[in-house]
A and B are shown apart, each in its own frame.
Chain A
Amino acid sequence: MAEQTGVPVGLTEEQPEARRIRWGFVVVWIGVLGLLGLVAFKLLQVQQGPVGVGTKAPVFSLTTFDGARIELADLQGQVVLVNFWASWCKTCEQEARELEQAYQEFKDQKVTFLGVDYVDTEKEALAYLDRFGITYPNGPDLGTRISQAYRIRGVPETYIVGPEGEIAIVKIGPYGSLEEIESDVVSVLGD
Chain B
Amino acid sequence: MRRWMVVAAGIFVGLMAIGWSGPARAQTANPSDDDVNRIAKQLYCPVCENIPLDVCPTQACEQWRETIRMKLAEGWSDEKIKQYFVDQYGARVLATPPAAGFNWLVYILPPVAILAGAFILFRAFRAWGRPRGVEEAPPVATSDDPYVAQLEEELRRRA
Cβ–Cβ < 8 Å partners of A38 in chain B: 102, 105
Contact stretch, chosen from B2-10, B12-20, B61-69? B61-69
10 contacts between A and B (CB under 8 A): A2-B154, A3-B154, A86-B60, A87-B63, A120-B60, A121-B67, A143-B87, A143-B88, A143-B89, A144-B46
> What are the nearest 10 A-B pairs in CB distance?
A88-B59, A88-B60, A143-B90, A121-B63, A144-B90, A121-B67, A119-B46, A119-B47, A124-B63, A144-B89
| CB 8 Å contact bits of B87-99 with A (1 = contact, 0 = none) | 1111010000000
CA gap between A31 and B139 in the complex, in Å: 37
Known: A2-B154, A5-B151, A144-B89. A121 touches B64 (CB 8 A): yes
Q: Mark A134-146, 1 if CB is under 8 A from B, else 0.
A: 0000001011110
Give Cα A143–Cα B85 distance, bound, in whole angstroms: 9
Additional A-B contact list (7), CB under 8 Å, known A35-B109, A88-B63, A142-B88: A3-B151, A5-B151, A35-B105, A38-B105, A119-B47, A140-B88, A143-B89
Task: Give the distance to chain B from A84, nearest Cβ to Cβ, in Å.
Answer: 12
Residue from B46, B58, B89 having most chain A Cβ neighbours under 10 A: B89
Mask: chain B, 31-75; 1 = CB below 8 Å from A; 0 = not: 000000000000001110000000000111001101100000000
Chain A stretch 30-63: residues in CB contact (< 8 A) with chain B:
35, 38
Given contacts A3-B151, A144-B46, contact A119 B89 (CB under 8 A): yes
Answer yes or no: B106 CB below 8 A from chain A CBs. no
Q: For the complex, what is the distance from the CA of A86 to the CA of B64, rounded to whole Å?
A: 13
Cβ contacts under 8 Å, B89 to chain A: 119, 143-144
A119→B45 contact, CB < 8 A:
yes
Residue A28 is within 8 A (CB to CB) of chain B in the complex? yes
* Chain A residues in the interface with B (C-beta under 8 A): 2-3, 5, 28, 35, 38, 86-88, 119-121, 124, 140, 142-145, 148, 154
**B contacts, CB < 8 Å to A:** 45-47, 58-60, 63-64, 66-67, 86-90, 92, 102, 105, 109, 116, 151, 154-155
Which residues of chain B come closer than 8 Å to A5, judged between CB atoms? 151, 155
Q: Which residues of B contact A140 (CB under 8 A)?
A: 88
Interface centre among A3, A88, A119, A154 (most CB of B within 10 A): A119
Given contacts A142-B87, A144-B90, contact A120 B63 (CB under 8 A): yes
Residues in A with CB closer than 8 Å to B60 are: 86, 88, 119-120
Chain B residues with Cβ below 8 Å from A88 are 58-60, 63
What are the residues of chain B within 8 A of A145 when measuring CB–CB? 90
Which one, A3, A28, A120, A121, contacts B66 given CB within 8 A? A121
| Cα–Cα distance between A88 and B61 once the two chains are bound (Å) | 9
Residues of B close to A2: CB separation below 8 A: 154
- Give the distance to chain B from A26, nearest Cβ to Cβ, in Å: 14
A102: min CB distance to chain B, Å: 26
Q: Which residues on A sit within 8 Å (CB–CB) of B47? A: 119, 154
> Chain B's nearest CB lies how many Å from the CB of A23?
14
Closest chain A CB from B38 CB (angstroms)? 19
Cα distance A33–B65 when bound, in Å?
A: 42
**Complex-state Cα separation, A38 to B108, whole angstroms:** 15
A13 CA / B46 CA spacing, docked (Å) = 59
B150 to chain A: closest residue by CB: A3
